[in-house]
Amino acid sequence: KGPLNDAVAPLEWLLGTWESAEPGEGTFPTIKPFHYTETLHFTHVGQPVINFMFNAFHIETKKPLHRESGFIRMKPGTNHVAFINAQNTGLVDIEEGELTDNQLNLESCALSRISFAKDPHVQKISRVFCLQPDGKLEQTVSMATLNQPLTQHLHVTYQRTS
């Protein structure tokens, strides 16, 4: 795969495998709060792209739950990032935003779903990745649905395992 492509060099801090350091916290006004574990993979093959795969699991049974997969690109000469994401629930979304030092702020600008996706439909996703001073990675995801305004759904901190 060779060295990381210069076009995504500012995102090098994401590369590798990350495991939730403590159980992730799931919340939303309409659901029972829950805990989960999650593994993140950020890889590259030398293209001006980072590949990602996020796999969440049931905290006790370890059963696979939510999964996301896609690509990250950067607009040349800027800090503008695009996060192109397919979710196992039948949702696909494009999130864009700015990279500032070790923080990436993303907001959905396009969102679509399979014809038989479960209700309530997601209307908006906002997501923050933050590399903390101790080397841990924090992810916070908020969403709006047809019933609820933008509200936090996920908060989780990961440690790098490779």
- The alpha carbon dihedral of 37, 97, 105, 27 has a sign of negative
β-pair partners for 58:
36
Which residue, 34 or 71, has its beta carbon nearer to ligand HEM? 34
Which residue, 49 or 56, has its beta carbon nearer to ligand HEM? 56
Distance CA(149)–CA(14), nearest Å, equals 29
CA atoms within 13 A on the CB side of 156: 28
Distance CA(134)–CA(71), nearest Å, equals 26
Q: Nearest approach, Cβ of 125 to ligand HEM (angstroms)?
A: 5
Q: Nearest approach, Cβ of 35 to ligand HEM (angstroms)?
A: 9
Which residues of this chain interact with ligand HEM, rule CB under 6 A? 26, 28, 30-31, 34, 36, 56, 65-66, 91, 120, 122, 125, 141, 143, 145, 153-154
Q: Nearest approach, Cβ of 44 to ligand HEM (angstroms)?
A: 22
Which residue, 46 or 90, has its beta carbon nearer to ligand HEM? 90
Which residue, 7 or 128, has its beta carbon nearer to ligand HEM? 128
Q: Kindly compute the dihedral angle of the four CA atoms of residues 114, 93, 70, 107, in this order, to the nearest 10 degrees.
A: -160
Q: Nearest approach, Cβ of 121 to ligand HEM (angstroms)?
A: 7
